[in-house]
Structures are given as structure tokens and as C-alpha cells.
Structure 1
Amino acid sequence: GDNSVRTILEELFRDTLVTSLANHLTSENDMRSRYKRKKADIEQTFNRAIVELQERKLPKEQYKRELEEKTDQFRQEINGLDEEIRNVQILFIEAYKNHLIEHVSNFGAVSTQVRVTLWKDDHLYMNRDGQYLLKLMRPEDQMTVLLSALDELLTLKSDKISKLGDVVFFTCINPFNDLSEQAVIRQLRRMDTDDDHDNNNDLLTVSRNCRPILEHKLLRGTLVVIHGDILLESEVPKQCFIQTYNENPNQEHLVDYFECKQCVRNGQPLRWICQSCASVCHK
């Protein structure tokens, strides 16, 4: 049930975080121990130097002068060591903070906003602002939830899907790549060739049943390119009005007819051309 899943996640989070913190604290304790040994070595060296200085039986003024020099040197070394450990501790805290940001704050199984486009005839479909369409994906979502984005993109072109085949691909492109239209098309063209090994990590093609956030830790801003067996209405041969005419006398039919001056019959321009035929006839 929901509660059991929540409990398991809480336990995993707590155990992982505690283990991670314990590892960092162990490293920090080891570091402090090393600095304590360094400090003890400096103190021992100073104490030996003082004993040797006393054994030399120097005149009072010379003894005093050399003692001050060695004391100043000792203090500088101790202060330098203390400053070094403070700086390292600050870096240590920053490292742990970055660790948490990277591995906790950006946990992959959260809702993620992705970019979506359709690749067809070496063209990428954009929104009305000329940008990739943005869609929010939830952890449980399969790639099929992005198919609705195609309707939005195609509507802007006064088009729609006529048939969605079985072979539809979803290619995910790293958001840190060059996502300009030309660069993306180049990557898509090369993704199945042998000379594109260097970019294999930046492109991932998955099936429509894939749950990319849970299975592949989909990054925010990833570009999802939909392509494959997708037939648009604009690609389907138009039917003449004669083929679609319903002979029901009770049904009203409003039809626009056109004339083509290049299509000639009996020396006269061809008339009574329906709109479907006119769209593929001469202008």
C-alpha cells in the first residue's frame, strides 16, 4: 500500500543519509587526527630546539634573541597549521553540501520538465514561439504521455495524426548538448551509424512503455524527439468529393468548386473541381 511504500522510502532515505554522514564524519575525524599528529610533531621539534638552546650555555642576550626567534617560528607554524585546518574544514563542509545537492536534492524519481518535438522529413516541430514544447513528466509516466504533445505541435501546422504505427521511437538527448535544430538533426541522422560512438552517452532511444524518470533518471530539460511510423493527414492522398458524397437526400452538402485553366476538356478549362482535388491540381 501507499503507507508501506512511504515507510520503505523513509527508511532508505534515513539509512542512506546516516551512512553517508557517518562516512564523511569518519573522513573528517581521520583528517583531524592527521593534523593533531602534525601539531604534535611541531611542538616536539620546538621543545627539542629549546633544550638544545639551553645546553649551548649562550650569553643571556644571545640566548634571549634566539629563543624569541624560535618561539616566533613555532607560533607561525602552529598558526599556519590552524589556518590550514580551518580552510580544509570549510572545503569539507562545502563538499558534503554539494554531495547532498547532487544526490538528494536532485533525486531522479521526481516530476521532471522535458522538451518535446516531432522529427519528420528532416524537420523538427516547434511551438508557436519557435521553441521546443515543454511537458511535465511524473515518475510513473510512460513515454506515451508525450504523444499528446504531437497534437499540440501539429495543430499549429493545421495538421493532425492520421495513423500512429507500432514502430514509434522516443530519443532522449542530453540537455547539455547543442539543442539547435540543425545540431539535433545531425545527431539523429548519425545515431545509428558506426562513426557516432563519441555521442552514444548523449542519446538514448527508448520504447513507448518506458518510464524514463524511474528507469533512466531523465534529466530536467532533456529533449525528447518522437519519430518513426507516424502518418500525418497532410501526407494522406485526399479523396475526391465524389468518393465521400453521401447520397442521403435529407443531408445538406455545401461544396466549394474550382476551375483549372491548365486542365482542359473539349478546349475549355476544367470546371467543377472539388476542394480536395483542387489542392493537388494546378494553380
Structure 2
Amino acid sequence: MIFFFSGENCIKMEDIKLSPIEAVFKNHLKDNLGAHEKCLQTLKKQLHARLKKLEQEAQSAREELKTQGLFQTDLDQEKGKIDNNFTNHKAELEKEFESCSQLIAQAYDKHLTEHIPKLSVLPVKITINVLPKDLKISDVVFAPTDRTKPRVIGAVEGAMSANKDKLVKWPEDVQFILFGPFAKCNQHETEKIVQEVLQNGVTYPDVTVLDSQSMPVLHQSMSPGSEIVIFGEVKFESDLPKKCFAGLYKKEEDQIVDYFICQSCNFKWICRSCMEVCHKGHVIQPYIMNFHPSWACCYCPKNKKCIIRE
């Protein structure tokens, strides 16, 4: 257990509140440092075992001298040689241990240098705000080399396809405005700031107009929790005039359609567009969801109720 002393107070390390980043490093470095220490302890055990054996050999050599009937002067001289030899060998082993320890530390330092990236080059999680639609897509991950326009379009297309509302129009004049974590505000204020920045050249702290091909993480040091606002006439399928599926069917495509029952009109197999327009205000129930029709199936035109078929 590690303690820190401040004046007369003793503070346990586990009582110190760590920041989220410190906690991450603590968790990862704890195991790594433990492995590093284990390696050093193994080396120490090997050193102690070798020193013990060396000392035993020296002691055996001293005992052997006593059996050789040497004069005291010669005996002392030979013992001195044994002691010097032992001291030299011990010093060499200890030097080798220090050298090994340094090599381990250097290797570990190199590993950390190469594998712990700076925060500025880590992927960043942000929110994308499609301003005219009052639509926000959260938890979008930007890698350091991701460029603004391709990454934003990809994120929007993916999110809206999952919601069955495909992106159908992305004008060339769409603008991207980066709001830092502490510059974000409600939709009304965001729209006001965007218009002032784009139309009047007003500057706001931590609000930046992005080039469509810039790399926000590298070029603008985009922080986690930031928001990229899309300003322009982006259109989705839901923005287009409703059309009956009977007029949209394409044999070569694998289309997915939701069908409904209108209890008011007493028939089923009604596509979603007809349900929303032709049968608006009627008593509706889901019939079959995520269906893959093999023909232009919608019974609304067949029952002469359709007002949106071209």
C-alpha cells in the first residue's frame, strides 16, 4: 500500500481521486509494471542463487586449503586469492544484474514511447448535428486521418439508413462548423451562431468553420465531445413527397417494405407512404414489417384509395 504525506496528514493512494485519463493509465500500467517487477525479481533470484553458489565454492576452497598442510603465511596468501576472486566475481555478477535491469528499463521505455500515443492523435468521439433537420447523431468516431466531408457523410448515411430514411441529396455548398465541447448550445442558439459566422464573419471562441477536406483531429485538435454542425439543404427520403410503393418497385433491387392494415377501410397490404397519407386519421395496425416484396405490392391503388401514386 502506498501513502503520501502532506504536513501531518497521511493519505492513502487509493483515496486520491483520479481523473478518467489517470484511471485508464493506472489500470493499464499496473499490470505492465507488475510484469516488469516480476521480471526484475526473477533476475534477483538468479543473482542471489549465483552469489550463494559462488560463496559456497569459495568456502569449500578455503576448507580445502586447510587440508594441504601449508604454512600460515602461504595459507593466508591463498585465502586472500580466494577472497579476491570471490569479490571480483561478485562484483561482475552485480554489474551484470544492473546492466540487465537497465536493458529491461530501456526496452520498456521504448515500448511505452512507441505504443502510448499522444491524446492529439487518438480517435475522437463527437456528435454530428444536421442543423436544418434538428437531427443529432451521437458517438461518431473520428480517426486522426478522417477528413471532414467523407466521414460526416458516411456517418449520416449509416445512421439514416438504419432509420430507413436514406440520404438522397447532399449539396456541394454544405458547410461544416465545429463547436468545441464548451461552445455547444441549444439548436436555436446554434443556428444563430452559424448564420452570424457564415454570413457576417463573426468569430466565436471554440467555433471553427471546417474545410470539407480538413482532418479535424490533426488540423483543428478536435476534442472529444465536440459537435460538427452541418448547414445546408441536406435532404432525406422523408423530405420528398410521399409515393406509393406500387410506383417505386424495382425488380432488380432487394427492397424492404412495411405493410399495414386499415381497419377503417377494411383491407391490408398498405405500404407506409399510403398509410401516412391516404389513410391518415384512420384506425391502423401493423401487418408485416421488413417484408421483401417480389412485385409492386400495395393494395391501396387496387382498392381505389390511393391519392399519391404517380
TM-score, normalising length: structure 2: 0.40
TM-score, normalising length: structure 1: 0.44
Say which structure is richer in helix.
1
Larger relative contact order (Cα-Cα within 8 Å, sequence gap ≥ 6): 1
